[in-house]
Amino acid sequence: MRGLYPAIEPHASGHLTVGDDQEIYWETSGNPDGKPVVFVHGGPGGGTSGEQRRFFDPDRYRIVLFDQRGCGRSRPHIEDLAGSSASGTRRPGADLSTNNTQALIGDMEKLREHLGIRRWQVFGGSWGSTLGLAYAQAHPDRVSELVLRGIFLLRRAEIDWYYNGGAAHLFPDEWEHYLAPIPEAERDGDLVQAYHRLLTGADREAARHAASAWTRWENRTSYLRPQSDSSPDPRFDLAFATIENHYFVNHGFLDDGQLLADIGKIAHIPGVIVQGRYDVVCPMRSAWDLHRAWPQAELHIVDDAGHASFEPGIVDRLVAATDQFAAAGDTPGGNR
């Protein structure tokens, strides 16, 4: 099976002012004259890491990574926003009023223009597949190909499955940890809303505890075979959980089923869908529904994988897809 490409370092990076007092972190690596690709990270709120550069042949790709609003190395970080307000008083949670799907699509366009890229390949998994699809449907003329993994269409049924009890049947032990921060009287209700109250409430210690439990639930259920515990990172957990929950409370700022309804806007764009059969976070039904609506895209089902992008079978199919599009050559109008 194909593995990841060797680790590389960025040759350029910076912060781009995108409006709303936001600056997004970006970096480029690989071949400066290569085929442009943008990596759209998950979460929302997850941020990027150097390992994500390795899905692409550095000799053939100009690799763009960026951190979405409020997370990673973008500024201000959500934890900073949880501090003092303009009036000097402490405020609960973070100012998420300008953090929405439409704003992120706009940020991607500003970044593309800033880097002088006419069209780029869009590569994303989980929430990255959601934002990748939304961006492509808003700007189909700016997308050369789509490589999507662990499909999340942000339909209400998908959120309820994973955050309101469906997946608990497979992970009852981990579900107890997920429930722990929620008062017993609220555990039979909408848990996404209950977490929202904790994550944005005035008790910041309770918010951090809730963020840790929310993030643990995702980490412990993402792989087919459980992984060893990683060191806790309260700063990451707070951004990941708070931003993700904010989007889910607001239904992703999309109409239910919108990404499928608008699939005709991107039917002409070459695409590859990679899906772990035993993905609990984003079950295969969503990938299947997307493929049925968009049959032009190749669907690769990995029979021995869950949700995570770094499972061996998922890596194999993702790298095969990026190699395939690199071998086909750049479409007209990549780098200006």
Q: Which two tokens stand for residue 230?
A: 């990683």
- Per-residue pLDDT, averaged over 50-79, amounts to 96
- Per-residue pLDDT, averaged over 52-59, amounts to 98
Question: What value, to the nearest 5°, has the Cα angle with vertex 212 and ends 210 and 217?
Answer: 95
Q: Is 107 helix (H, G, I), strand (E, B) or coil?
A: helix
Q: Which two tokens stand for residue 278?
A: 């035993």
Rounded Cα distance, 223 and 323, in Å: 24
- Per-residue pLDDT, averaged over 116-123, amounts to 98
| pLDDT for residue 227 | 80
pLDDT digit string, tens, across residues 165-224 = 999 999 999 999 999 999 999 999 999 999 999 999 999 999 999 999 999 999 999 999
Rounded Cα distance, 125 and 52, in Å: 11
The mean-pLDDT minimum among 84-93, 164-173, 221-230, 236-245 falls in 84-93
**Closest residue by Cα to residue 241 from 205, 195, 279:** 195
User: Known catalytic residues?
Assistant: 126, 279, 307
In the structure, what pLDDT confidence band is assigned to residue 303 with cuts at 50, 70 and 90?
very high
The model carries a pTM of: 0.95
Q: Is 190 helix (H, G, I), strand (E, B) or coil?
A: coil
- Per-residue pLDDT, averaged over 63-71, amounts to 97
- Per-residue pLDDT, averaged over 113-132, amounts to 98
In the structure, what pLDDT confidence band is assigned to residue 78 with cuts at 50, 70 and 90?
confident
- Residue 29 pLDDT > 60, yes or no? yes
State percent of the chain over pLDDT 70.
92
- Residue 88 pLDDT > 50, yes or no? no
| pLDDT for residue 82 | 64
Identify residue 71 by its one-letter amino acid code: C
* C-beta separation of 308 from 314 below 8 A: yes
Q: Mark out the alpha helices in 144-275 (DSSP H runs).
A: 156-163, 172-179, 191-199, 204-221, 234-249, 258-261
Instruction: Check residue 230 and report its DSSP letter.
Output: P
**Closest residue by Cα to residue 195 from 172, 218, 170, 223:** 218
The mean-pLDDT minimum among 45-59, 145-159, 219-233 falls in 219-233
- Residue 49 pLDDT > 70, yes or no? yes
**Closest residue by Cα to residue 139 from 105, 107, 114:** 105
pLDDT digit string, tens, across residues 1-14 = 999 999 999 999 99
| pLDDT for residue 87 | 44
Q: Which residues touch 302 (CB under 8 Å, ≥6 apart)?
A: 274, 275, 276, 277, 311, 313, 314, 316, 317
| pLDDT for residue 80 | 81
In the structure, what pLDDT confidence band is assigned to residue 122 with cuts at 50, 70 and 90?
very high
Enumerate the domain spans of the chain: 12-154+253-329, 157-252
Residue 276 burial (CB count, 10 A):
29
Q: Which two tokens stand for residue 63?
A: 């690799």
What does the mean pLDDT of the chain come to? 93
| pLDDT for residue 202 | 92
- Residue 330 pLDDT > 60, yes or no? no
| pLDDT for residue 311 | 97
| pLDDT for residue 332 | 45
Say whether domain 12-154+253-329 belongs to CATH 3.40.50.1820. yes
- Per-residue pLDDT, averaged over 322-333, amounts to 77
- Residue 84 pLDDT > 70, yes or no? no
- Residue 83 pLDDT > 70, yes or no? no
